[in-house]
C-alpha cells in the first residue's frame, strides 16, 4: 500500500488558505485532509461542503474529507457531490452506516469509516468489505495539536490483522498527534496514510516537515 502524508488544513490559516496549501503542495503529497466539524458531534466548528467545492476548483490535490458531524447519513452525499475524493464518516455518528457508505460510493467518491479512540475495531467488522479506507483516530476528534494516544497503535495493528485475515485491501489512516516519532509506530502497526496538521503547518517550513515524516517511515 502506498505511503501518503495528508496535511490537515485545520492547522492552516483559514484567511489565507491557498497560500498555506501552496507552501506544502510541492512536497510530493497527493492529498489534503479536510476536517468538517459541526459543533455538535465535536465541540468545534469549521466549515461545510462549499469549502470542499471551492478547494476542488482551486487545487488538483485529492480531498480527504473527515466529517465530524451529526447526521452524516443526510450530509455525506453533499460532500461527495462537492468534489470530495474520499468521504469519511464516523461510525459513532451514523444510524445507517452501511447505507451511507454505499451512497458515498454511488456518488463516485471513495468511502471511509472513522473510529473514535473508544470504539473497538470489532464494531466496524460488518462494513469493512465496503470501505476504501478506515481512519483510526489517535486523539479525541475536535482539535489540532493534541497528544497522541499510544494505545491506538495496538488498535491499528488489530485492524491490519483483521483486514489481512478477511482478504481485504482498504487503506489504514491515522489522525491526531502524528509527528516524526509517532508516525513510526503507526507505520509499523500497519497504517499507510498519515494525517498531520500542527506538525506541518505550525512550522516555518512545511515542506521540510513533510519530508521529515516521509523519512521517518523510510520514504
Which chain residues interact with ligand DX5 by CB under 6 A? 8, 10-11, 33, 35, 66, 139, 141-146, 175-178, 195-199
Closest CB 213 distance from ligand DX5, rounded Å: 11
**Contact pattern from residue 147 through residue 176 relative to Zn ion, giving x for each residue in contact according to CB under 5 A and a dash for the rest:** ----------------------------x-
Q: How far is the CA of 84 from the CAs of 13, 72, 152, 188, in angstroms?
A: 20, 14, 27, 29
Single residue of 4, 35, 64, 185 touching Zn ion by CB under 5 A = 35
Query: Length of the chain, please?
Result: 219
8 assigned binding-site residue: yes
> Helix (H, G, I), strand (E, B), or coil: what is residue 204?
coil
- Count of other CB atoms within 10 angstroms of residue 2: 8
**Sheet containing strand 110-115, strands side by side:** 4-7, 193-196, 171-175, 133-137, 110-115, 86-90, 62-68, 31-37
33 annotated binding-site participant: yes
Cα separation of 110 and 64, whole Å? 9
Residue 54 assigned ligand-binding role: no
- For the CB of residue 68, give the shortest distance to Zn ion in the complex, in Å: 7
Shortest Cβ 90–ligand DX5 spacing (Å): 10
> Which residues are identified as catalytic?
35, 175
Cβ nearer to ligand DX5, comparing 161 with 205: 205
- The site for Zn ion (CB under 5 A) is made up of 35, 66, 175
Amino acid at each position: 500500500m502506498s505511503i501518503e502524508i495528508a496535511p490537515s488544513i485545520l492547522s492552516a490559516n483559514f484567511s489565507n488558505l491557498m497560500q498555506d496549501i501552496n507552501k506544502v503542495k510541492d512536497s510530493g503529497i497527493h492529498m489534503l485532509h479536510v476536517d468538517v466539524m459541526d459543533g455538535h458531534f465535536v465541540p468545534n466548528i469549521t466549515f461545510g461542503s462549499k469549502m470542499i467545492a471551492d478547494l476542488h476548483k482551486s487545487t488538483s490535490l485529492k480531498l480527504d474529507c473527515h466529517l465530524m458531524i451529526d447526521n452524516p447519513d443526510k450530509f455525506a452525499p453533499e460532500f461527495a457531490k462537492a468534489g470530495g475524493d474520499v468521504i469519511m464518516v464516523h461510525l459513532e455518528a451514523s444510524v445507517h452506516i452501511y447505507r451511507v457508505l454505499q451512497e458515498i460510493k454511488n456518488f463516485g467518491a471513495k468511502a471511509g469509516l472513522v473510529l473514535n479512540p473508544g470504539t473497538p475495531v470489532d464494531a466496524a467488522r460488518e462494513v469493512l468489505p465496503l470501505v476504501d479506507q478506515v481512519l483510526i483516530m489517535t486523539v479525541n476528534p475536535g482539535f489540532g495539536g493534541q497528544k497522541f494516544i499510544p494505545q491506538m497503535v495496538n488498535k491499528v495493528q488489530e485492524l491490519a490483522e483483521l483486514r489481512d485475515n478477511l482478504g481485504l485491501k482498504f487503506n489504514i489512516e491515522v489522525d491526531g498527534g502524528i509527528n516524526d516519532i509517532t508516525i513510526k509506530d503507526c507505520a509499523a502497526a500497519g497504517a499507510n496514510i498519515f494525517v498531520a496538521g500542527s506538525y506541518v503547518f505550525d512550522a516555518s517550513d512545511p515542506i521540510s516537515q513533510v519530508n521529515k515524516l516521509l523519512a521517518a517511515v523510510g520514504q
